Amino acid sequence: MSTHIAPSPALVRRFNALAKEWRSATRFLAAPSAAVAHPAYRAVVALGSDAVPLILAELAEGPEPWFAALRELTGADPVPPTDCGRPSEAAACWLAWGQARGLA
Amino acid sequence: MTPDLPAILSAAFPGLASDAAEVLRLADPRFNCVAWAAGLSDAIWWPSDPDAYWPPEAPDELSVAAMVAALNTVGYTLCTGSGLETGHEKVAIYARDSAPTHVARQLRDGRWSSKLGRDCLVAHATPGGVEGAVYGSVAVYLRRPVAANA
């Protein structure tokens, strides 16, 4: 298990602001790929791996399409092909992945 | 006019306010409009997307033709017009700049239902209720038979 350091308050504030902006701007888009191309989502990815616990916490609240960001930031993909396109199952896979590493 | 329609919906879809719109389900990221058209409420269908399902029989490209092919796999075939037809249910594929953006599904009472991205599911009187800047306009209609007691 890796050592997990809690994100700084500044990072949490920045993440929350970006996540709120992203949710609002992309809420009516049908395509996950369009949502993840939004500048606010890209800015979340640019926060780096310290944002991973915050993203996992978002996923625990609801299966929003954070999967692309997690793949980019971790290099992992714990979602089997059979669960592709099934957000609840994909979120559960990522949360299990995070819990195994002390990140969720 | 529907007084309870959230302001954010009226702002994004001005046609809803005059289309007797009604929120049927609150925001839910577990399914999108294409899956809803296919009869599912626990999946995301979209082409060329690593986080979405797409029927392997359909072209994996963002086009109206690919959307039609995907809906062919669940029994829909092209038809003309949005009118309610006994024994059939219909879907409408919307496009903007030739790219598909949305699919609405007709309800048994003749109204239409739209899952608005990750947001809510709304009923609206006509397909025009969600036409506009966000989804463009209806490109094609499809229909499929439904069982009499379905």
Distance, in Å, from the CA atom of B116 to the CA atom of B124, rounded to the nearest integer, reads 12
Residue B64, C-beta contacts closer than 8 angstroms, at least 6 positions apart: B93, B95, B98, B99, B100, B139, B140
- Across the range A3-27, mean pLDDT stands at 92
* pTM: predicted TM-score of the whole model, two decimal places: 0.94
Q: pLDDT for A42-59, tens place per residue?
A: 999 999 999 999 999 999
ipTM of this complex prediction, to 2 decimal places:
0.93
Residuewise pLDDT in 10s, chain B (150 residues): 445 688 999 999 999 999 999 999 999 999 999 999 999 999 999 999 999 999 999 999 999 999 999 999 999 999 999 999 999 999 999 999 999 999 999 999 999 999 999 999 999 999 999 999 999 999 999 999 997 655
Find the CB nearest B29 among A63, A84, A85: A63
Inter-residue contact B93 to B38 (CB < 8 Å): no
User: By a Cβ cutoff of 8 Å, what residues of chain B touch chain A?
Assistant: 12, 27, 29-35, 42-46, 48-54, 62, 101-103, 115-119, 134
- Residue in chain A closest to B47 (alpha carbons) equals A31
